[in-house]
């Protein structure tokens, strides 16, 4: 039976995500930016919370954790490496640890770069990855704690997932990301088309998240750092993938 995915807008530009298994009667939350909209989304559907997965320690991803735990007594899961900076964890995981939600395997993927200790979750049964502030729609998170090399490693791991994977990332930054992407990859027709589509969605007040990994590979300049036409576009034909990524990330920081 299919798992249902619900995207919940929170704060000014954050997203939280619910995954619901109707047969098991169980619900998981991925990141808790704000309590009220998450409670409303659950109550509207008559769901309670069983598991709460955290991608990283920033306040705009964990603010609602303690309130939601108090309300539902849910299991809180986060990175062992970041345990001191996260709310109290019931399950402290390391990348590769076995983990499941309602019998569905949840892969824990190391996603350092934006922060150290950032993790992503992949639920194959749902075809969904929860990437927080690592891989984002047409972008990637700023490097607050990690190096460009670490973020490139993260993006490379995520690119190994199936192309039809839905990428549930933490923010609605896509329109601004598209403007930057066009500045470094102006000849990319798939990008031009996607940027138009993003403008239309935003004008209609619609979400651009989740996005699809296969489309990200064709249009996200950070994921394209290893592709020869992208290297050429930034004048770095002979540089390593990680060097090209670092240069694109620097350019975005100064955009």
Question: Which residues would be at the binding site for Fe ion (CB under 5 A)?
Answer: 58, 60, 133, 170
Q: x/- contact string, 8-47, with Zn ion (CB under 5 A)?
A: ----------------------------------------
**Residue 82 found at the interface with Zn ion (CB under 5 A):** no
Buried b (16+ CB within 10 A) or exposed e, 125-158: bbbbbbbbbbbbbbbbbebeebebebbbbbbebb
DSSP 64: T
Kindly state the number of chain residues that form the binding site for Zn ion, as judged by CB under 5 A.
2
Between 134 and 165, CB nearer to Fe ion: 134
CA-CA distance, 133 to 119, in Å (whole number)?
9
What secondary structure, in 3-state letters, does 97-142 show? CCCEECCEEEEEEECCCCCCCCEEEEECCCCEEEEECCEECCEECC
Smallest separation (angstroms) from Fe ion to the CB of 224 = 23
Q: Which one of the spans 23-31, 126-134, 171-179, 203-211 is the region binding Zn ion (CB under 5 A)?
A: 126-134
58 is a contact residue toward Zn ion (CB under 5 A) = yes
* Residue 139 or 153 with smaller CB distance to Fe ion: 139
Which is closer to Fe ion, CB of 32 or CB of 233? 32
Q: Pick from 51, 82, 133, 215: which binds Zn ion (CB under 5 A)?
A: 133
Binder of residue 20, out of Zn ion, Fe ion, none (CB less than 5 to 8 A by kind): none
Query: What number of residues does the chain have?
Result: 255
What is the rounded distance in angstroms from the CA atom of residue 105 to the CA atom of residue 15? 23
Distance between terminal CA atoms of the chain? 45
* Interface contacts to Zn ion, rule CB under 5 A: 58, 133
């Amino acid at each position: 039976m299919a798992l249902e995915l619900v995207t919940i807008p929170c704060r000014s530009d954050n997203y939280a995500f619910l995954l619901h298994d109707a047969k098991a009667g169980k619900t998981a939350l991925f990141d808790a930016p704000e309590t009220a909209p998450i409670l409303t989304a659950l109550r509207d559907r008559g769901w309670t919370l069983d598991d709460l997965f955290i991608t990283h320690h920033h306040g705009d991803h964990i603010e609602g954790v303690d309130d939601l735990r108090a309300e539902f007594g849910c299991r809180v899961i986060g990175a062992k490496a970041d345990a001191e900076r996260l709310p109290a964890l019931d399950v402290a995981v390391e990348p590769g640890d076995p983990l499941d939600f309602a019998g569905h395997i949840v892969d824990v993927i190391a996603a350092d770069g934006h922060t150290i200790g950032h993790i992503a979750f992949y639920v194959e049964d749902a075809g969904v990855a929860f990437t927080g502030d690592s891989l984002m729609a047409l972008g990637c998170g700023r490097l607050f704690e990690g190096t460009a090399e670490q973020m490139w490693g993260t993006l490379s791991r995520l690119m190994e997932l199936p192309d039809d994977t839905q990428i549930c990332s933490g923010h609605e930054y896509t329109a601004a990301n598209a403007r930057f992407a066009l500045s470094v990859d102006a000849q990319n027709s798939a990008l031009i088309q996607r940027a138009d589509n993003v403008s239309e969605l935003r004008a209609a007040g619609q979400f651009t998240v989740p996005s699809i990994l296969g489309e990200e590979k064709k249009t996200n300049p950070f994921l394209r750092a290893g592709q020869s036409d992208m290297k050429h576009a930034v004048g770095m034909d002979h540089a390593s993938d990680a060097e090209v990524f670092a240069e694109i990330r620097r350019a975005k920081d100064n955009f």
